[in-house]
Structure 1
Amino acid sequence: MDQLFESAFKLHLSGKFSEAEDIYRQILSEQPLHVMAKHYLGVLMHQQGLSAEGVELIKEALISDVGKASRYNDLGNILVQIADFDNAITAFQSSLEYCHDDANVWNNLGSVLHHQTQIKEAEYAYRQALFHTPNFVPALNNLASLLSDTGQHAESSRLICLAYIQPPLTDKPLKQLAVAYFRLGLIADAAECYRAWLHMEPDNVYAKLHLAACTGENVPEKTPDAYLKEVFDGMSDFFEEKLVTTLAYSGPEMIAVLLKECAFQEKTLDVLDGGCGTGLMAPILARYSRYLIGVDISAGMLGQARARNIYTDLVEAELVCYLRNCEKRFDLVVLADTLIYFGELIELFRVIRQVLRPHGFICFTIEISSENAPQPLGYNLSVVGRYTHSLCYLSEVLSVHGLVIVAENQAILRTEFGQPIPGVAMLVGFGG
């Protein structure tokens, strides 16, 4: 009978259901209590759409052999598939009574509890799965989904990344692996991904910049133009939604507060929106502008800005090059989320100062460097590829050019992997 069952089981696994069923039934006609034949005949009946008969067969097998955790797990999975969720929960719980450390069953239980909106119980089940098998990918992803749904975004993103770096890694893009590694603080592993990428594509600007960010070696003073064009042209269609919705970007609101505090008269200023992107700042700046120019290096982003029909003019250019060719024509230069692509700021502020009229202003946002991060230059290229600046360095830059702070607004500029990123918006003008 054991040999006969093995032949039926092999047929079953190979999808030859009719032949397998005949042999299972032949076995049961001679040995009605053959547990394995009855159980897998039940599974086969479900696979052929006869779920009610299949469930009964599995239950009968359990009566004869109640101590088999795997049979309760199979029963639970079938009950989930026919939407009998309450009994599925009971089946998974019964399985765990016989094998308490089975991560797969804990995950299955968590999944059905999650579906039934028993959130605390589902979270407990997922965490039990991970307690017994810490890097169990299905539980990592399921718990991440639950935590995201309940607003626990930081831990959710960590778990997603942890799941992503589990083997096999062969078919996973190096870029995504690197992102996952640095989110987990495994910066050396992220760097190795970028090195491997550069081995295949020696001139890849993205890999070069992010390797520099990971190692602190060969850090450029500003983000390369080719990088900005490639990245922002490629994401222009969905950039704004991601920035505002996913990353909770608050730069425009922070700047709007400063402009309102300074009580500029409406429609009186000639304004430059430097690094205008998709034009998020345009509705705010239009209130004060009689003339509004947007400048950006990305043609794709300018296409989105042009669709707003707010700007007086839009120019495709690298910002510093554009400013060097300007006369003193602006009352206000706005740099919202632009300085994150410049490390060294002295030259940028020099050319901005040259295009401002005598009583002009600069309004900008920066990301503030962590106090714990080494910053011998006053700025850092973070592992996400954006520059952060120390407030001390910013004060030095303003002092060099005779600029003083008129108003400032410190707040959370955005979130990154669920973590708040501190920033500051400043309105500065000429001293004296």
Structure 2
Amino acid sequence: MADNIPTLLQQALALHQQGHLQQAENLYARVLQIDPRQFDALHLIGLIAKQRGDLESALNFFGKALQVDSQQAKLHCNLGASLQEKGEALHALASYETALRLQPDYAMAWNNRGNTLRSLQRYQEALDSFEQAMRFQTNYPEAYVNRGICLQEVNEHAQAILDFEDALRLRPNYGAAWFALGFSHQQLQDYEQALASYQQALVLMPGHSPAYYNRAIVLIKLERYTDALDDLQQLIDIQPKSSSAYLQRGHALRHLQCFSEAVQAYQMALERGGDAQQIQYHLASLGVGASPSMAPPTYVADLFDQYAERFDQHLQQQLDYQVPQLLNQALQALRTPQNAAHDVALRFNRALDLGCGTGLCAPFLKSIAETLDGVDLSPKMLEKARQRHLYDSLYCQEIVEFLTQSVSLYDLMLAADVLVYFGDLQAVFETVYTQLEAMGIFAFSVEAATEIGWQLQPSHRYAHSENYIRTLAKQVGFELLELTLHHGRREQQQSVSSFIVVLKKS
């Protein structure tokens, strides 16, 4: 009867390779009835369990196979893949290491090891592992894609694109590679290329939800709001409970000025478990519900992380942004007439750029301050600011929280287009006042409100009235040195008026 085992295994393996899993499993089971310790049957029936997602059964069969023969690299590789899917990354890594000790040129094990290292955020080791996989198997599109995804994790999107393109040269109909290529183009703000890549991904992977979602985001960036709504509807048809789809639908409808429909979309996102704080903020900006006292920090950080690459160019070339120049002029006006006549420079000992962003105010601040620090919520904006080499220290933190915890005192604090994300300014004024030296200066801009007090606008930015600023400054203990109305920027082809304010700690 034992003589039938090779024939049964051959038949089972053929069925397995053809995707006939149940028939193959039945034959492997017949082999194990004949010989319960038959290695190939234990290993391969475990592999079928893994393919079905039954990881416990897979690990059970792989464990039995290990008791028969622990020197098979493929078994350790499949064991590692099961452990990886189960979320046991360190145990998976150990299995891949064992497989590679047994078979150093095992390309799949190198590739899988790279994926596990990436999940552990050990990115350089992961990149090295993918490199080894491609060294031992030159025609390996999966390894190119996985290395590209790892490069995406470390924000090396230009390099990642080269890997995705190599993968597509090897396998032109590789849908996952097209999707990943689209994502890197999207992160580099090359939206037309991203759009083309997502289109190809959807041709190859119809119904792929992430591609519909990302393509909708790109279409919104390209101001093709109606097309974005079509993609979002496709996504909602596939995933009716997707809060993200409804949230983006709300954004697209807002851009189309379909405000009542936008409100409905935001409410649907809220019902489906979306971020309540952010969604309530969006609704409040459309007049639904009470306005929060400030924008959610997560919203501000996400907004400016996405905006970082094109922030300077967009503000200066498209929005006619004037606030840094206006604040610089206001500070220069602090020089006494005598000092101005003798061209005596305005000097501060220690300055803090609140919500510094990419550092647009740093050049003039550094010229008047011995030491310049900056604080901002957005890591990507701070990275741009760091590249200017003008700040002595940079901090990633919410500004009131930073000031509350700071042990440093400053004789100048500046907030350019930052307080537009705060409604109630009392906490900002009080913490600034506390951390200013005696006679210290606080200079900032706010958008001018048409009503008394402060209000959240449809632009998601707060506006403040002149009376509100004057009253609060006096209440906290500031002396008002300047409060003037200027053109600060443009928004949807309309001039936005800003107050330029200079206060002194009395």
Match of 1:355 among 435, 456, 464: 435
The corresponding residue for 1:269 is 349
Match of 2:458 among 357, 360, 383: 383
Identity of counterpart residues, as a percentage? 28
Query: 1:425/1:164 Cα in 2 relative to 1: closer, same or farther (>3 Å)?
Result: farther
Q: How do 1:14-413 and structure 2 match up within 5 A?
A: 170=233, 178-179=250-251, 181-182=253-254, 186-203=258-275, 206-263=278-335, 265-327=345-407, 329-371=409-451, 378-413=453-488
Contact preservation (8 Å) 1:183, 1:417: no
Runs of 5+ consecutive residues of structure 2 not aligned to the other structure: 1-222, 236-244, 336-343
The corresponding residue for 2:86 is none
SS of 2:483's equivalent in the other structure is strand
Q: What residue identity is the alignment partner of 1:389?
A: H
Deviation at 1:265, TM superposition (A): 3.3
Q: What residue identity is the alignment partner of 2:311?
A: F
Alpha-carbon distance in 2 for matches of 1:227, 1:258: 31
What is the TM-score normalised by the length of structure 1?
0.57
Contact preservation (8 Å) 1:272, 1:292: yes
SS of 1:343's equivalent in the other structure is coil
Query: 1:181/1:203 Cα in 2 relative to 1: closer, same or farther (>3 Å)?
Result: closer
What is the TM-score normalised by the length of structure 2?
0.49
SS of 1:280's equivalent in the other structure is coil
Q: What residue identity is the alignment partner of 1:260?
A: Q
The corresponding residue for 1:430 is 505
Deviation at 1:360, TM superposition (A): 0.4
Alpha-carbon distance in 1 for matches of 2:425, 2:264: 30
Deviation at 1:207, TM superposition (A): 3.1
Contact preservation (8 Å) 2:488, 2:498: yes
Deviation at 1:261, TM superposition (A): 1.2
The corresponding residue for 2:186 is none
Q: What residue identity is the alignment partner of 2:392?
A: T
Alpha-carbon distance in 1 for matches of 2:447, 2:459: 12
Alpha-carbon distance in 2 for matches of 1:191, 1:272: 39
**What per-residue deviation string (whole Å, max 9, x for no partner) do you get for residues 13-48 of structure 1?**
xxxxxxxxxxxxxxxxxxxxxxxxxxxxxxxxxxxx
* Pairing 1:419–2:499 present: no
Alpha-carbon distance in 2 for matches of 1:167, 1:237: 28
Q: What residue identity is the alignment partner of 1:387?
A: Y
Contact preservation (8 Å) 1:278, 1:304: yes
User: Which region of structure 1 is more displaced relative to structure 2, 161-170 or 294-303?
Assistant: 161-170
Q: What residue identity is the alignment partner of 1:416?
A: E
Q: What residue identity is the alignment partner of 1:241?
A: Q
Alpha-carbon distance in 1 for matches of 2:433, 2:390: 25
Query: 1:170/1:353 Cα in 2 relative to 1: closer, same or farther (>3 Å)?
Result: same
Alpha-carbon distance in 2 for matches of 1:315, 1:274: 10
Deviation at 1:187, TM superposition (A): 2.7
SS of 1:215's equivalent in the other structure is coil
Deviation at 1:164, TM superposition (A): 7.0
Deviation at 1:319, TM superposition (A): 0.7
Alpha-carbon distance in 2 for matches of 1:288, 1:170: 54
SS of 2:372's equivalent in the other structure is strand
Runs of 5+ consecutive residues of structure 1 not aligned to the other structure: 1-159
Alpha-carbon distance in 2 for matches of 1:416, 1:295: 26
Query: 1:416/1:171 Cα in 2 relative to 1: closer, same or farther (>3 Å)?
Result: farther
Alpha-carbon distance in 2 for matches of 1:239, 1:168: 27
The corresponding residue for 2:50 is none
Alpha-carbon distance in 1 for matches of 2:368, 2:292: 36
Alpha-carbon distance in 1 for matches of 2:403, 2:380: 21
Structure whose residues are more often helix by fraction: 2
SS of 1:237's equivalent in the other structure is helix
Alpha-carbon distance in 2 for matches of 1:368, 1:193: 30
Alpha-carbon distance in 2 for matches of 1:251, 1:190: 31
Alpha-carbon distance in 1 for matches of 2:246, 2:323: 31
Q: What residue identity is the alignment partner of 2:477?
A: G
Alpha-carbon distance in 1 for matches of 2:449, 2:484: 16
Query: 1:278/1:199 Cα in 2 relative to 1: closer, same or farther (>3 Å)?
Result: same
Alpha-carbon distance in 1 for matches of 2:229, 2:477: 53
SS of 1:242's equivalent in the other structure is helix
Deviation at 1:370, TM superposition (A): 2.1
User: Which region of structure 1 is more displaced relative to structure 2, 388-397 or 203-212?
Assistant: 203-212
SS of 2:286's equivalent in the other structure is helix
Q: What residue identity is the alignment partner of 1:369?
A: A
SS of 1:427's equivalent in the other structure is strand
Query: 1:221/1:329 Cα in 2 relative to 1: closer, same or farther (>3 Å)?
Result: same
SS of 1:429's equivalent in the other structure is strand
Query: 1:236/1:394 Cα in 2 relative to 1: closer, same or farther (>3 Å)?
Result: same
